[in-house]
Chain A
Amino acid sequence: MFAEAIEQILQDLCTPAAVRAIEAGASPAPLWHAVESAGFLELLASEADGGAQLPLADLFPILCNFGRYTVPLPLAQSIAARALAPAHMLPAGMITLAAALRREADGSLCCPLIPCGVIADFVLARDDAALLLLPGALAQRSASGVRGSLTATLTWCDDSGATRIPGDGAALTAFAAAAHAALLSGAITRVFEMTLQHCKDRVQFGKSLGKFQAVQHQLSVMAEHTAAASIAAAAAFHTEDRTPTFLRAAMAKSRTSEAAVLVAATAHALHGAIGVTEEYDLQLLTRRLHEWRMTHGSEAHWNLLIGQHVLANDLSLVELVCSA
């Protein structure tokens, strides 16, 4: 029921036009306030903190929809933050998650390439085993410079404005990866659907593109990778725990990131020139596929960690996969 209510908000306020406007600098406040005032940021907050303590499996379709609707705010991150830290210790405002926190020799702090770093009010970062909450207001923000992207590197001259928050640093890494896997899965599915529809509608040589066997087979392969990405992402959220486990989150992010490349490439190939125009909505999705693939570790990052985990283990690969 939460999922439908949230999707209604997205349908009304996260239209392609609204996404383009926010990317161009318009205020994200209407969308943000609609979600916040309906209480949906507290989906994962514990019941003691007045939250819904939603099982992660029920959160999954909601995060997928954030990807599907190309939500240009850190909604997934702000919701996840409530499972990573005690909700009452979190401030009001948009919280995003940092993939890394570097402490420089001069005492300054740097979080490189934070998703939604241009607009987020706070950054929740992993400081080794613990968590650090950093205020955006005190940061120097340096946008990535990629057109339409809200990714930015944030630096603080010292940690005087930072708040130490009780929590588990490793859980932040896993949740951020899993959340982006869900975003990717939602966006990948939407790209697949748009491409399928386009191939049914567009006529060349007197028949729809989808009648050509070469095109059919590309769409079939796209469907395979879409299904794989979707179930890999879902697996990370099917847990009794409050945050995804390392191995499932790692595999989810790796598999969705790998699929993102194939799906984006096939989508553009089959759309032809119209697909790369600013006016056509495909670009809202494929730009994000590339960005989210690189956010919180690409498949190259996670495959290495997963492989190291396997090689350091005594179990057979199948035993390890069955117990993951």
Chain B
Amino acid sequence: MNPLISAFRFTALPPETNAFRAAIKDFLKSDMEDSAPDVRARSWMGFSAAFSKKLAARGWVGITLPKQYGGANLDALSRFVLVEELLAVGAPVGAHWIADRQSGPLILKFGSEAQRRFYLPKICAAEAFFCIGMSEPNAGSDLASVGTRATRCANGWRLNGRKIWTTHAHRCHYMIALVRSSGEPQQQQEGLSQFIVDLSLLGVTVRPIRDLTGDDHFSEVFFDDVLLADDALIGTEGEGWAQVNAELAFERSGPERVYSSIVLLEHWINCLRRGPDAAVHAATIGRFTTHLATLRNMSIAVTAKLMNGASPALEAALVKDIGTEFEQSIPVAIAAAISMNPDAAVDPALYRTVAYLSQIAPTYSLRGGTREIMRGMIARGLGLR
């Protein structure tokens, strides 16, 4: 059988995760503040440092990191369960999200012992929030053409350039930035390195950007002669491209590529259960249920591969593309359904939630790499490029 297809092997979550799941549910019942569905629909873009700290107090930030660095030493499937439960209720996980998902594992994998000791306990305590500095005004899909440059100077590096669309940069402590440390932009993947940039340093300017819904989750970040110490370099100089790609496997395969519209779907189902129109929409609900269960199984299959030390970048791209298509189809169907009959009353919160998602859903297939880029990666994996 084609190896890409057979990579999606059905994997059941181990029964031990049931108790963990129950504990998370209890925590969410007692410690997550009630908020309206259109607020919870912000999903992993919702930012609450206070919530992240509460989660960290339970030991649930950076749970896959080793105990000696403040983690819980749990496996990736346990993290899957944690993340699934958080996303299912629309918990505001944005503050610690990036550090938990990819910066922590990246520092563990490529960082020096000193870097691990410095950053990882802060991540696990929800005291260090991270953002991803990949995109630039002239380097979007063509990420390898980044122009921000780190040049050697006495005691370290001098950083100049600019990043954009950096999620929560204006609320984070650190950015892991992909920059050019040697060579010219035409050399593409060569000469790139990753640096941990303390965003409080002199010469860093962060300007939030407002989106069409009125939110300001992303930012523009300017570096003007920012002086970085030697140990700001993470991993190996010149290996930035390979490191970023390992990071992207974590970024693309998780349940957040399936659950972004789940708060809306759950709220609609609740409204239907209370109202007279359930029968009309049962088939639509059935289709979403089928797709959700299937995508979840695909995401678990990729997570199991991550757990075994593989870097399933290709499988992750596949899940991201089909998962975001599902997420985007939900507001489309629900907006049509609730306005099928202009005489019928519409739940006001449902109306606001579907409106929010209709506006924001296009970003699902942009952030983390666009639809066309994912399909190109899959084609490469199929041996077509």
Q: How many Å from the CB of B292 to the closest CB on chain A? A: 5
With A228-B295, A318-B266 in contact, is A219–B286 under 8 Å at CB? no
The interface residues of chain A lying within 8 Å CB-to-CB of B374 are: 220
B294 contacts A232, C-beta separation under 8 Å? yes
With A193-B2, A304-B286, A311-B272 in contact, is A225–B322 under 8 Å at CB? yes
B289 contacts A227, C-beta separation under 8 Å? no
The interface residues of chain B lying within 8 Å CB-to-CB of A318 are: 84, 88, 259, 262, 266, 292
Number of interface residues of A (CB under 8 A): 51
List residues 308-323 of chain A with CB under 8 A from any CB of chain B: 308-311, 316-318, 320-322
Consensus secondary structure, chain B interface: helix
Given contacts A199-B384, A220-B321, 12 further A-B contacts (CB under 8 A): A219-B382, A224-B378, A226-B2, A226-B5, A231-B297, A251-B294, A258-B287, A300-B283, A311-B269, A316-B269, A318-B259, A318-B266
Instruction: Please measure, in the bound complex, the distance between the C-alpha atom of A217 and the C-alpha atom of B293, giving whole angstroms.
Output: 25
User: Which A residues are closer than 8 A to B by beta carbons?
Assistant: 189, 192-193, 196, 199-200, 210-211, 213, 215-217, 219-221, 223-228, 230-232, 234-235, 238, 250-251, 254-255, 258, 299-300, 302-311, 316-318, 320-322, 324
Kindly report which residue of chain B lies nearest to residue A188, judged by CB atoms.
B5
User: Taking the complex as formed, is B222 at the interface, i.e. its CB lies under 8 A from any CB of chain A?
Assistant: no
With A228-B294, A318-B262, A320-B289 in contact, is A311–B282 under 8 Å at CB? yes
Q: How many Å from the CB of A302 to the closest CB on chain B? A: 7
Number of residue pairs A-B, CB distance < 8 angstroms: 171
| Interface size, B (range) | 35 or more
User: Taking the complex as formed, is B236 at the interface, i.e. its CB lies under 8 A from any CB of chain A?
Assistant: no
The interface residues of chain B lying within 8 Å CB-to-CB of A193 are: 1-2
B2 contacts A238, C-beta separation under 8 Å? no
A199, A227, A230 pick with most chain B CB within 10 angstroms:
A227
A231 contacts B286, C-beta separation under 8 Å? no
5 closest A-B pairs by beta carbon, nearest first, are A307-B286, A307-B282, A303-B286, A306-B286, A216-B379
B266 contacts A254, C-beta separation under 8 Å? no
Kindly report which residue of chain A lies nearest to residue B301, judged by CB atoms.
A231
User: Taking the complex as formed, is B376 at the interface, i.e. its CB lies under 8 A from any CB of chain A?
Assistant: yes
With A196-B382, A223-B318, A308-B282 in contact, is A235–B10 under 8 Å at CB? yes
With A255-B294, A318-B266 in contact, is A307–B289 under 8 Å at CB? yes
The interface residues of chain A lying within 8 Å CB-to-CB of B289 are: 251, 306-307, 310, 317, 320-321
